[in-house]
Amino acid sequence: MKYSQTFIPTLREEPGDAVIASHRLMFRAGMIRKLSNGLFTYLPLGLRCFRKVEAIIREEMNAAGSLEVKPPVVVPGELWKESGRWESMGEGMLRVKNRLGGDFVVSPTAEEAFTALVRDELSSYRQLPILLYQINTKYRDEIRPRYGVMRGREFVMKDAYSYHDSEESLDEHYRAQGAAYRRIFKRCGLTVLSVKADSGSMGGSGSEEFMVESEVGDNTLLLCANGDYAANVEKAECRRDDAPPRKAAEGSPGPAPLETIDTPNVKTIGELCAFLKARPGDFVKTLIYRAVNVELDLSTAPGCGDLPRRKTSPGAPETYPEAFFAAAIRGDLEVNEVKLAAALKASEISLAADADVVRLTGAPVGFAGPVGLNTLPIVLDQTVTAMDDAVTGALEKDKHHRHAAYGRDFGGWMIADIRTVKAGDRCPLCGGELYEKKGNELGHIFKLGRKYTASMGVSYLDENGKTRVPLMGSYGIGLDRTLASIIEEHHDENGVIWPLSVAPWQVIIIPIKYQGAVREAADGLAAELEAAGLEVLLDDRDERPGVKFNDADLLGIPWRVVAGDKNLAAAVPAVEVKRRSEKEARLTPLAAAAGEIAAAVRGELAALTAG
C-alpha cells in the first residue's frame, strides 16, 4: 500500500491527558482519535492492528472448539432482571428506555444473552457441551474513563460461554480456554501474569485473571518471590503468621481472665496501643458491615431470624436484600471486603452507617468487639482464632476488654479468611515473601457453576431422563486493552515497536526521493515482498527523509528498507535494511533484500505461533 493512499495523521504533540505510553503513541501515530470522553475512533492504522489481534483471538477460539455467534449489542433489560443483575450491576451498566418504554441494556457482558439462547435450544445431554463465543462491542459507563483505550467506555470484548453436564467437562473447557489465552498473549508478544482472582459480581467458583504489569493498573497483585504463587489482592491468601498462644509457652502462666477497663478519650488504635502498652497485633478489630443480596442461609444466625428473604427471579436462590455482620480481625491486619463479600455470598458490602453501628452494638463507633455481641452474626478472620489474650471493644463507650480469649470469651458465627494480604506476607504455597505489582486485566476466565443457568431456568434431560441444570463457564478478553498493552510492552522514546504478528504492515519501504531509479527499485521491492505474502507500506510522500524516518519509527513497522540513489548506483545495487528494534541499518544487495526479509519474517511469525 502507498502511504499517500492511507490516512495516517501523525502528530508531534501529545494529547494533554495522556499519561501512559500506549495512549500517547496511539494518538501520535494516528491510530486513534478521541470522539468524546472514553469514546475513541480507530483510524485506519489502528484498525489494521486491532484486526490482527482480533484474528489471533478468533483463530485460537476456533481451535479451542468454541463457535462464533453474534448476539445483539442492545439487549432487553428483562434478561438482566431474570438473572438478578439488573439490580446488582450498578450504574456502570448503560440502561436505555426505548420509544415504547421498554428497558434495554447496552451489553457490558453477555452471560444473560447466551444463557437465554441456550435455554431455548438445549433439551438433551447429547447436545452438551455447548461452546460459544462472540467478538463484539461492549459498553461500561465508566465515571472516569482514562488512559485512552486502556479504560474506555466502549470497547470490544471476546466473550465466550460454555455449558456442561459435568464438572469434568467444565474443567476441560476451562483449561482449554486458559491454554488458548496463553497462546493468544504469546502470539501478541505479551508477557502476561496469570493470577487467581475473585469472581466478583459474575458469581461462581474458580476464576483466573490474565494480567499485564502496569504502573497505572487497576489491580494489585501479590506474587511470591519464588514464582509459585500469583493472585489478585481481592483473592490473595497467605500463610498464617499467628503468634504462638501464650498458654502454649512452657512454664508461662495461663491466660488471665477477661477484664473490662476504662479507656477514656482514647480514639485511635494508636492511642489505644500507647495507653495499654500493646501492639496493634494484640487487638481484635471489629467492624460492622452492611451486606446486600446475601445468599447464605441466615435463619439460625444471631439477630437474623426475622430478616425478610426474597427471590429476585423465579429460578434464583432466595437472598436477603439487606443484612448486617460484624467482621473481627487481628488489629494489625485489614479486612478484605471482596473476600468478606465472597464468604457471605453477598453481591455488595460496605461499612455500616454510624446509626446502624450504635443500634447494633449499643455503643458509638470504635467500641465494637466480639465478646457478648449477639445482635448480629460475627465473621471471625481465622487469625482471631489463635488469639487468647486480646484487647477488644466492650460494646460500651470508653470501655475495652483485655485478656479476651477465643473459645473462652467469644466465638464467631463463621470463621473465614477475610484478611487483606500485602507485600511482606508469606506465600501460602512455599512461605516465600510476597511482593506487590500493579496490573491491568486483559482476560478473565470463570467457572460460574449454576448461578446463571439456575436463575434463568436452563435445564436438560440427562441420560436417565432426569431434569438437570447445566454448569456454565465464561471467558473474556478485552481487545482494545490487549492492543494498548502490546504497545506498553513494545515501544521506545521514538514510537511503537510492533511484534510482527500484530504489525500494521511488516515492512516499510522509504525511497529517499520517490522518482527515477529509486522509485523503480522501491516499487520492484514492494512487489517482490507482496508476492512473497508480506504486507508492505511504501512511503511515496514528497517529504524530507527525516520526516519519513521519524514517522516510520513512530508507526513502529518491524522492518525498514531505505532506497537511495547512492547505494542503488553502486556496483552491486543495495538498499539499507534495518529492524525497528535495532539501532544500525545494514547494506543489503537489492536483489537479495526481499528474500532475506521474507525469510526472517516467516521465521519470527512461526516462533510467535509455535507451542
Residues forming contacts to a second copy in the complex (CB under 8 A) are 5-7, 9, 33, 35-36, 39-44, 46-47, 50, 65, 67-76, 78-79, 91-92, 94-96, 98-100, 104, 106, 113, 116-117, 120-121, 130, 132, 136-137, 139, 141, 143, 153-154
Residue closer to a second copy, measured from CB, 547 or 570: 547
Which of 315, 310, 313, 319 lies closest to 78, judged by CA? 313
Q: How many CB atoms lie within 10 A of CB 348?
A: 15
Residue closer to a second copy, measured from CB, 325 or 460: 460
Query: Residue 259: beta bridge partners?
Result: 402
Q: Report d(CA 461, CA 87) in Å as an integer.
A: 31
Residue closer to a second copy, measured from CB, 69 or 216: 69
Residue closer to a second copy, measured from CB, 132 or 525: 132
Cell digits of residue 330: 487481628
Residue closer to a second copy, measured from CB, 79 or 593: 79
Backbone angles phi, psi at 272, to 5 degrees: -65, -40
**Rounded to 5 degrees, what angle do the CA atoms 368, 302, 336 make?**
55
Residue closer to a second copy, measured from CB, 236 or 502: 502
* In the block, residue with C-alpha cell 468524546: 36
Residue closer to a second copy, measured from CB, 87 or 604: 87
The 3-state DSSP class for residue 131 equals strand
* In the block, residue with C-alpha cell 463463621: 414
Name the minimum Å distance from CB 9 to a second copy: 5
Cell digits of residue 49: 492492528
Strands (E), 452-553: 460-461, 467-468, 471-478, 491-492, 495-496, 507-511, 536-538
Residue closer to a second copy, measured from CB, 102 or 257: 102
Which of 497, 501, 521 lies closest to 509, judged by CA? 521
Q: Report d(CA 523, CA 509) in Å as an integer.
A: 9
Q: Report d(CA 96, CA 94) in Å as an integer.
A: 7
Residue closer to a second copy, measured from CB, 120 or 584: 120
Name the minimum Å distance from CB 80 to a second copy: 12
The answer to whether the CB of 587 falls within 8 A of the CB of 562 is: no
Name the minimum Å distance from CB 468 to a second copy: 19
Name the minimum Å distance from CB 185 to a second copy: 22
- Is the C-alpha dihedral spanning 354, 357, 362, 363 positive or negative? negative
Q: How many CB atoms lie within 10 A of CB 62?
A: 13
Name the minimum Å distance from CB 545 to a second copy: 20
Name the minimum Å distance from CB 542 to a second copy: 10
Residue closer to a second copy, measured from CB, 96 or 353: 96
The answer to whether the CB of 572 falls within 8 A of the CB of 36 is: no
Residue closer to a second copy, measured from CB, 34 or 426: 34
Residue closer to a second copy, measured from CB, 96 or 572: 96
DSSP assignment, residue 585?
Answer: -
Which of 59, 32, 25 lies closest to 48, judged by CA? 32
Cell digits of residue 542: 514528497
Residue closer to a second copy, measured from CB, 129 or 377: 129
Q: How many CB atoms lie within 10 A of CB 269?
A: 16
The 3-state DSSP class for residue 35 equals strand
Q: Report d(CA 471, CA 448) in Å as an integer.
A: 7
Residue closer to a second copy, measured from CB, 117 or 269: 117
**Burial category of 468 from C-beta neighbours within 10 Å (exposed 0-12, middle 13-18, buried 19 and up):** middle
Name the minimum Å distance from CB 558 to a second copy: 22
The answer to whether the CB of 277 falls within 8 A of the CB of 420 is: no
Q: Report d(CA 610, CA 253) in Å as an integer.
A: 66
Q: How far is CA 453 from the centre of its chain?
A: 24
Name the minimum Å distance from CB 76 to a second copy: 4
Q: Report d(CA 473, CA 167) in Å as an integer.
A: 10
Residue closer to a second copy, measured from CB, 4 or 191: 4
In sequence order, the 6+-apart residues with CB closer than 8 A to the CB of 159 are: 109, 110, 133, 134, 136, 138, 474, 475, 476, 477
Name the minimum Å distance from CB 473 to a second copy: 16
Name the minimum Å distance from CB 571 to a second copy: 40
One-character DSSP codes across 534-565: --EEE------HHHHHHHHHHHT-SEEEEE-H
The answer to whether the CB of 133 falls within 8 A of the CB of 117 is: no
